[in-house]
Structure 1
Amino acid sequence: MKFINFAIVRFSIFLTIGVLSAHFYPVTTFLLPYLLTLLVVFVLFWLWARKRIFQSVELGIVTYLCFFFIGYVSYQMRLPMFQSNHYTHITTSDIPEMLQLKIIETLKDNDFNHKYLAEICEVNGKNSKGKVLVNVSKDSTENSFLVDDLILVYSTISDIPKPLNPHQFDYSKYMKVLGVYGQLHLSRKEIIKRQIGAQTLRGFAQNRRARVIKKLQKTNLETDERAIIQALVLGEKKDIDKNLYEKYAAAGAVHILAVSGLHVSIIYFILSSLLRPLSRFKYGSLVQAISIVLSLWGFALFSGLSASVTRAVTMFSFFALAQVLNRDTHAVNTLFLSYLTLIVINPFLLFQVGFQLSYLAVFFIIWLLPTFKNIGYSKYKGVRKVWTLISVTICAQIGVLPLSLFYFNQFPCLFLITNIVILPFLSIIMCGGILIVILASNDILPNWLAETYNYLIEKLNWFINWIATQEHFLLGDIHFSKLKTISAYLTIITFALYLKKLNYSRLIALLVTIALLISVYIYDENRYSRSQLVVFQKNRQTLLAYQNGKDLSIFKSDSTASLSNDYPIKAFKTQQNITSYSEKTLPSIFKYKDKKILIIDSLGVYPKHENIHTIILSNSPKINLNRLIDSINPRQIIADGSNYHSYVNRWEETCKLKKLPFSHTAKEGAFLLE
């Protein structure tokens, strides 16, 4: 009989608490010696307690503390401050240095740069370590770098800039989750030497994948269709057109573009079917299990070792191990065992969106699917299969819904239709894609097969596009805070527990969480009732926003196109829970909370007003700032992103001499006046 080992679940919880504590409440003291001491105490307690019939409470406490400290130390030891040879302790931000880098991953290019992740090997001849983001000007190299290439450069490591407007995506924070704390901008003259480095297993897989992609580009596959194959089979999403990706997201089908447990399970069953004859021989089951596990890890390595595929392959590895050992286990055990293993190896995974969504989806499928099957049970096998497919989709959506709303602020109402149509054919699409990749990589892909598969993917894209165009069924710009996310999960969990067992205590727990969720919604409504004035940072444009509760008025210099869905207004509207929006022409002078604010544009004309509190300089006005300050006597001056930097530098020096507060949005970010 299958059972759930709740000890693994509890260990995972305490490990997670340890990682989160190290992330949000770091300490400057290295805790590894304390962990080793605690492990010794644990061993002594275990030797004493194993001879007792009833286990002691002390052993349990020490065990949970061990997992807490393992999580804390595992995260802590990866921080630069606890790595003496990390480049952040050696380099300076304003002096170029001789750096030896090893390319470890290629990223998606932008319009001007090739982008890579690299490991620092040496700084000025001294051994060092740490990851950096490398931006190489596209006119600096004839060919792009490959994984495992060694390059010698003379350049400066700079910080990855933080967002300059409120509620914008923090790329620097995202890169820190990947262990990247700096970046390089390289031109041709800064690249001194390039050579092929010692090949790693991951480098071999990534370079092999790059060669396969180049061969796919030579086939008769169209651009969009080829990009879908690369995402489905190779885990390469860089070539997917942005509009096409957004359509998949709007249709609720973006998960099929990320190699995940769904794709791994298909490959697992393909391998199981092909290798089933081995089970007839002695040790055949062992050989079969080892072959499947090695093949799955090879696929994971080949597809880029994303968080979701790593989770899936780790789970299937433990599942295969249980089969070899004839151990009957529960899916929850393999799920949490894989989670425990991956977090110990790399605690930063916990903060990756793909990792979070992947584990939540699988957990809720395992937990809720039996309940859904009982609700929709039918004596007809065909009906049961259809209901199972619907149930799996709903369970996964329930599991990821609050987190998806928090990260992406939208909900595709037609996700069920999309998945019911696509999922039954995904196995065919995957098998066809694998066959296409194998034949193309060996230069034997027949044109008729490429055209047939191209037609199949084209029809898939057509269906996705049709679903995405049903705009009334896509709920967007949904405000969903952290508190709403937490309270929503508490409500979902207590509701599921109540459905599994109807009793008074669980009903009370459900009602309490519903009351908590309502309270959070009321709190969020009142939370944004204040008023504020925001001077946004936007190049070559002046943008001001006046927020009064849930009403937002945008004052802009360009009166043509609407900015409602543009950067940086869209994210600000969503996160501030704005319900009323309007756009107006930028005034030359206005009043905000008894403070007069003067805007001086390119004409450099300004009225002789007294009691001006704030001056906003826009579009590089040709003015004598000394004379302006003497005549108006403002309290502070702001220069937005529409000004020339040479002008801003001169104004800043003038304000320093006058001892007048000066802000430049291109350097300090958006200016908030409350």
Structure 2
Amino acid sequence: MKLLNFSIIKFTFCLIVGIIISKLFSISILYSLLFCVGFTLITIGFYFTLKKKKSFIYLFGISVYLTFIAFGIFITNINGELQKTNHFSHAIDKDQANQTITFRIRERLKPNAFSQRYYVDILKLNAKNVKGKALINIRKDSLNIPIPIDAVYLSKTNVIEIKAPLNPDQFSYKAYLEKQQIYYQIYANQLDILELKSETSTVFGHAARFRNYINKALSKYQYSDEQSSIINALILGQRQNITKEVYDNYTNAGAIHILAVSGLHIGIILLLLNFVFKPIERIKNGKLIKTIILVILLWTYALIAGGSASIIRATTMFSIVAIGINLKRPTNIYNTLAISVFILLLIKPNFLFDVGFQLSYAAVISIVSFQPILERLYSPKYKLNKLLWQTLTVTVSAQFGIIPISLYYFHQFPSLFWLSNLIVIPFLSLILGLGLVVITCAILGIPKSFISDTFGAIINWMNQFFAWISNQEDFLILDIPFTLLQVVVSYLLIFSIYQLCIQKNYTWTKFTLVSVIVLQLTYILNQYHTKGDSFLVFHKNRTTLIAKKHNNQLAIYSTLKHAETNTIIRSYAVKNALQPIASKPVNVLYKLKDKHILIVDSLGVYNIKNITIDYVLLTQSPKLNLERLIDSLKPKAIIVDGNNYKSYISRWRQTCKKQKLPFYQTGKTGAFIIKD
């Protein structure tokens, strides 16, 4: 055994462990650097002192693994934008309400109901050269013209730290943006930003202008807005203009991956390019030239398609595959995956916590592991049957890898996923190929033709098919509680099943059965955690939304109709494995064991006798004398929800401060929870 004969898979695993440790524990850059240098020196020392002492070779192995763990900790720390001295957050003048900001548009996002949204690079803050990314929200106006990528603007506005959600178990946009190294956002009107002259042009700007040129060329084919949005998503990687209805249809049909340029698209494009440039192999050094051309074209396409995280990781992986295939180097798919993961995490450690990153690699690993096993179960005689069977086995194999992660993040399962993929995936290479031909024709100025009309008809058919699948609501399983522990146990079970299929022995049969039992125990543990009672005051603007939990039942009381379907309630119920009960009107008094909660609404009535009031919830802006209420009821705390005027809240806060009584505003401190 050679000393340096270690698998890249082990190195990658150690790097991942280091990244996770860095996120779990606060380790300074200095200490992480010392760990990294220290373990590197120890490893080098072991190499020269132990290379002839095979009995101690395990010490060298341990030191190598610890070095890569330390390296993972170090690269995670140095990639933290906030720790860099030139990050714009260090230049914010807290004495000024507004900051003078110069920024460059980096990426256009999907707009919301009120604003056009962009990622921007901050260039200057209060005349100081800085770096860092931020989110800017530009309020929509009547013109609503998108701002071009690379445009530089000056604005005097406030820089606001992105806030965490105010209700428990809600989707955290703050956490999502932190993975993109974005911690602040800016709000502005179109008139508040002044465009500056800039001669600097980035790769992203060139790519955006080329996409605009393609869309302008395609306009002569008179595609509808819906068709254009799908073409942009399918081929150009831009999903901003897809309507919510169409997006939901693809999601509910289990086919949203078709609209995200990722491994599936890059793999198909590699196969098409490999076929087109195959004649080059006949010339001297043809394989090398062809490989260089393929890699350059793959990365050119990746940049044109926006250079998102999913595109970059897929292009990295398939670049390695292209090099291995065309240079006739023996490649192991697991090593190829490990190399691509290693390279991506070296560049951007936060990729590890990206949902798309996790789903992408889980799907690919699952396909290469389970697809050969499933394919052997049946041997069709005819080519069409063989193609359909291979598509089905690939689709089902992918689900082994992605179901646990999908259930954890999205809590739903589209049970007709196999039908969606069985019908569309076999023809996706033809659809992508035809799309590239149509774009090429448009760029060359070829007028509308049978080919462009056919492509438009195919897009319409896809949309109609996935809309039909989505409307089969009985096959869409929603609100599935699934914890992180269940994700881990599920993957242990899946790994045990894979090993059992390969080795077929008693040991892996035992591991599989034990994994099944442990997974069942996790459900029992979930039920155990639901035991107990609590009273919750959620935060929702202009709405009273409260709930009373009894074991696994969640009773909802609100001014909203059908409040049990509200996102706030659904998220909390699903994450905590609770069953929401149809909402009812708000009561005046609630009891939680020996605690009483009084609700004072717009009527301002609180005539309660012979009951000790522990908490008072003020909602719907009641006109009352709070000092008199406090003197009369002597509560332990005053709670104010989001259904009150701000002027009233400010006055009540001063009163409670004067009375030295705890004051909780859900709009500041988040949902208020009382436990038994």
TM-score scaled by length of structure 1:
0.94
1:9 is aligned to 9
Correspondence 1:518-557 to 2 at 5 A: 518-557=520-559
Which residue of structure 1 lines up, in the alignment, with residue 202 of structure 2?
200
Q: Which is worse superposed, 375-384 or 115-124?
A: 375-384
What amino acid maps onto 2:606 in structure 1? Answer: Y
Aligned residue for 1:446? 448
Report what 2:475 is aligned to: 473
User: Once the 2 structures are TM-superposed, how far is the Cα of residue 219 of structure 1 from its aligned partner?
Assistant: 4.2
Question: Residue type of the partner of 2:491?
Answer: Y
Give 3-state SS (helix, strand or coil) of 1:612's partner: coil
Matches within 5 A, 1:119-134: 119-134=121-136
Show the 5 A alignment for 1:582-601.
582-601=582-601
Counterpart AA for 2:617: I
Whether the aligned pair in 2 keeps the contact of 1:404 and 1:410 (CA below 8 Å) is yes
Inter-partner Cα distance in structure 1 for 2:351 and 2:138: 27
The equivalent of 2:225 in structure 1 is: 223
Between 1:287-296 and 1:595-604, the stretch displaced more is 595-604
Displacement of 1:587: 1.0
Q: Distance in 2 between matches of 1:453 and 1:81?
A: 47
Cα 1:673–1:294 change in 2 (3 A) is same
Could you tell me how far 1:233 is from its partner in structure 2? 0.1
Correspondence 1:68 to 2:69: yes
Deviation, structure 1 residue 394 = 0.8
1:287 is paired with a residue whose SS is helix
**Residues 651, 505 of structure 1: alpha-carbon distance in 2 compared, 3 angstrom cutoff:** same
Cα drift, residue 231 of structure 1? 0.8
1:281-309 alpha-carbon deviations (Å, 9 max, x no partner): 00111111111111111111111222332
Cα distance, 1:89 vs. partner? 2.5
C-alpha change, 1:489 and 1:555, in structure 2 (3 Å) is same
Query: Is the contact made by 2:17 and 2:69 (CA closer than 8 Å) also made in structure 1?
Result: yes
CA contact (8 A) 1:552 1:578 kept: yes
1:348 corresponds to: 350
Query: Retained in 1: the 8 A contact 2:533–2:549?
Result: yes
Q: Name the structure 2 match of 1:172.
A: 174
1:99-127 per-residue CA deviation (whole Å, 9 max, x = no partner) reads: 22222211112222221112222222333
Matches within 5 A, 1:141-160: 143-160=145-162
1:103 to 86, 102, 105: 105
CA positional deviation for 1:447 = 5.6
417-426 or 447-456: bigger deviation: 447-456
Question: Cα distance, 1:454 vs. partner?
Answer: 2.1
Separation of aligned partners in 2, 1:437 and 1:649: 59
TM-fit CA distance, 1:637: 1.1
SS in structure 2 at match of 1:582: strand
CA spacing shift, 1:211–1:539, aligned 2, 3 Å: farther
SS for the counterpart of 2:290 is: helix
User: Which piece of structure 1 moves more, 246-255 or 303-312?
Assistant: 303-312
Partner of 1:283: 285
> Which amino acid counterpart does residue 583 of structure 1 have in structure 2?
S
Q: What CA distance in whole angstroms lies between the structure 2 residues aligned with 1:94 and 1:114?
A: 29
SS at match of 2:161: coil
- Look up the SS of the partner of 2:85 in the other structure: coil
Question: Are 2:655 and 1:654 aligned?
Answer: yes
Q: Do 2:229 and 2:241's aligned partners in 1 also have CA atoms closer than 8 Å?
A: yes
Q: Does residue 1:571 correspond to 2:571, yes or no?
A: yes
Instruction: Note the 1:303-322 alignment, pairs <5 A.
Output: 303-322=305-324
How far apart are the structure 2 equivalents of 1:446 and 1:223? Answer: 17
How many residues matched? Answer: 668
Residue 643 of structure 2 aligns to a residue whose secondary structure is coil
Between 169-178 and 213-222, the greater mean CA deviation after superposition: 213-222
1:423-454 deviations in Å (ceiling 9; x for gaps):
11111211222223333445544165443322
Q: How does 1:14-29 map to 2 (within 5 A)?
A: 14-29=14-29
Q: For structure 1, which segment, 349-358 or 185-194, has the greater mean C-alpha deviation from structure 2 after superposition?
A: 185-194
Structure 1 gaps, min length 5: none
Instruction: State whether residues 70 and 344 of structure 1, in contact with CA within 8 Å, keep that contact through their aligned partners in structure 2.
Output: no
CA distance in 1 between partners of 2:511 and 2:602 (Å): 62
1:56 is aligned to 2:75: no
2 CA distance for matches of 1:213 and 1:164? 41
Kindly state the Cα deviation for residue 580 of structure 1 after the two structures are TM-superposed. Answer: 5.2
Shift of 1:55: 8.3
**One-letter amino acid matched to 2:670:** G
- 2:633 maps to what in 1? 632
Is 1:242 the counterpart of 2:244 in the alignment? yes
Structure 1 residue 6: deviation in Å? 6.9
The verdict on how the C-alpha distance between 1:378 and 1:438 changes in structure 2, with shifts beyond 3 A counting, is closer
How far the C-alpha of 1:208 sits from its partner, in A, is 2.2
- Which residue number in structure 1 is paired with residue 407 of structure 2? 405
Q: Which moved more, 1:175-184 or 1:190-199?
A: 190-199
Show the counterpart of 2:393: 391
Q: Is the 8 A contact 2:287 2:327 kept in 1?
A: no
Against the structure 1 CA distance between its residues 597 and 450, is the aligned structure 2 distance closer, same or farther, given a 3 Å change threshold? Answer: same
Q: Distance in 1 between matches of 2:95 and 2:415?
A: 51
**Which residue of the partner structure matches residue 667 of structure 2?**
666
Paired with 1:162 and 1:663, the residues of 2 have a C-alpha distance of 17
Alignment of 1:373-522 (within 5 A): 373-378=375-380, 382-441=384-443, 443-446=445-448, 448-522=450-524
Distance 1:142 1:464 in 2: 30
SS at match of 2:565: coil
CA offset at residue 215 of structure 1?
4.9
Contact 1:555 1:583 in 2 (8 A): yes
Does the aligned pair in 2 maintain the 1:132–1:184 contact within 8 Å? yes
CA distance in 1, matches of 2:604, 2:447: 66
Superposed CA deviations along residues 152-204 of structure 1, whole A, max 9, x for unmatched, are 22222211121111111100000000000111112356434523351112221
Structure 2 residue matching 1:158: 3-state secondary structure: strand
The answer on whether the counterparts of 1:275 and 1:288 sit within 8 Å (CA) in structure 2 is yes
Q: Say whether the 8 Å CA contact 2:105–2:119 is kept in structure 1.
A: yes
8 Å CA contact retained: 2:408, 2:487: yes
Question: After alignment, is 353-362 or 613-622 more displaced?
Answer: 613-622
Distance 2:481 2:238 in 1: 31
* Cα pair 1:436 1:445 within 8 Å, conserved: no
Q: Secondary structure at the match of 2:564?
A: coil
Superposed displacement of residue 54, structure 1: 8.2
Aligned pairs for 1:247-262 (under 5 A) are 247-262=249-264
Work out the CA distance in 2 between the residues paired with 1:598 and 1:646. Answer: 22
Q: Do the aligned partners of residues 213 and 382 (structure 1) sit closer, same or farther apart at CA in structure 2, a change above 3 Å counting?
A: closer
Distance 2:29 2:453 in 1: 62
SS at match of 1:99: strand
RMSD: 2.2
| 1:34 to partner: Cα distance | 3.3
Q: 1:296 to 1:94 in 2, by over 3 A?
A: farther
SS in 2 for 1:488: helix
Which ranges in structure 2 are unaligned for 5 or more consecutive residues? none
Counterpart amino acid of 1:288?
K
1:142 deviates by 7.3
Q: Out of 390-399 and 600-609, give the one that drifted further.
A: 600-609
Q: Out of 397-406 and 618-627, give the one that drifted further.
A: 618-627
Q: Which moved more, 1:123-132 or 1:443-452?
A: 443-452
AA of the residue aligned to 2:275? S
Range moving further from structure 2, 415-424 or 73-82: 73-82
Report what 1:77 is aligned to: 78
3-state DSSP of counterpart to 1:151? strand
After superposition, the Cα gap between the structure-2 partners of 1:189 and 1:251, relative to the gap in structure 1 and judged at 3 Å, is closer
SS in 2 for 1:9: helix
Give the Cα separation in 2 of the matches to 1:525 and 1:323.
51
Report the equivalent of 2:622.
621
TM-score (norm 2): 0.94
Q: Is the 8 A contact 2:288 2:327 kept in 1?
A: no
> 1:378-405: per-residue Cα shift (whole Å, max 9, x none)?
5655544332221111110111010001
How far 1:354 sits from its partner (Å)? 0.6
Q: 1:302 aligns with which of 301, 304, 315?
A: 304
